[in-house]
A and B are shown apart, each in its own frame.
Chain A
């Protein structure tokens, strides 16, 4: 059984009580536990405006759960959430693959930078001095543009 990471987001109506939200959470937690999975973290985004009406509601309370567990769990979660009246919308997304791809891209870019720099006989990491100089260059460019505009205005 492979453990995968999923993000579950559900929206409950804005007028639901704290208890109602906690109830949905425990429902999710029991399913998750049954599959031997774990909830990594839970985020309550609070009330947000919906981009469009859902069940005549213009607002909703968003809750995010990051879950590590097997794929079979998502089917069960999906089924349960669809039945729950307290949840007006939910979405389960598998994220581990996408995040690992992003991680790898980052690592590759860093490795390429280190290789490039060592080839040129520089220390692998940009020094503080270089970073400062790069920022300085940007400032100069902006400054140059501004002074250019001013010169034009004077004429």
Chain B
């Protein structure tokens, strides 16, 4: 038991250390080179109401598979993601948007 716990702790610690080193070496570079600044589409375009009937508005946030795009990818702010999620789920009920696509 005790040995197990120590082992796990040790592994976790080493892993975390490695990540930190990577962040120091590459992280900075990655941030400046690859990470584009993501902004919430709804904030920028001042869209107040995300309607479930507006398929054109919702479509960019539904990738091929039919899942709702996570915020960390689309960059939508929390408030609008919540509204978007609701709208997408309503649109799905009405077969405007698929639940899943194969």
Interface residues of A (CB under 8 A from B): 9, 11, 48, 50-52, 54, 60, 62, 64, 89, 91, 93, 98-99, 101-103, 105-106, 109
With A98-B49, A102-B48, A102-B49 in contact, is A51–B98 under 8 Å at CB?
A: yes
Interface of B is mostly: loop
Binds A, one of B7-15, B22-30, B31-39, B89-97: B89-97
Q: Give every chain B residue within 8 A of A51 (Cβ-Cβ).
A: 92, 95-99
Cβ of B95 to closest chain A Cβ, rounded Å: 4
The listed residue (A9, A98, A105) touching B94 by CB distance below 8 A is A9
Cβ of B21 to closest chain A Cβ, rounded Å: 37
Q: Are B48 and A52 touching (Cβ within 8 A)? A: no
Q: Does B72 contact A (CB under 8 A)?
A: no
Question: How many chain B residues touch the partner (CB < 8 A)?
Answer: 14
With A98-B49, A99-B49 in contact, is A11–B94 under 8 Å at CB?
A: yes
Q: Give every chain B residue within 8 A of A101 (Cβ-Cβ).
A: 48-49
Query: In the complex, A60 Cα to B96 Cα: how many Å?
Result: 11
Contact residues of B between 77 and 102, Cβ < 8 Å to A: 90, 92-99
Q: Are A91 and B93 touching (Cβ within 8 A)? A: yes
Q: Are A89 and B94 touching (Cβ within 8 A)? A: yes
Q: 23 A-B residue contacts at CB 8 Å?
A: A9-B53, A11-B94, A11-B95, A48-B96, A50-B95, A51-B92, A51-B95, A51-B97, A51-B98, A51-B99, A52-B98, A52-B99, A62-B94, A64-B53, A89-B94, A89-B95, A93-B90, A99-B49, A102-B49, A103-B48, A105-B48, A106-B48, A109-B46
Cβ of A35 to closest chain B Cβ, rounded Å: 23
Q: Does B61 contact A (CB under 8 A)?
A: no
Q: Give every chain B residue within 8 A of A109 (Cβ-Cβ).
A: 46
Q: Give every chain B residue within 8 A of A9 (Cβ-Cβ).
A: 53, 94
Other CB < 8 Å A-B pairs besides A51-B92, A60-B95, A106-B48, 12 of them? A11-B94, A48-B96, A51-B95, A51-B96, A51-B97, A51-B99, A64-B53, A91-B93, A93-B52, A98-B49, A102-B48, A106-B46
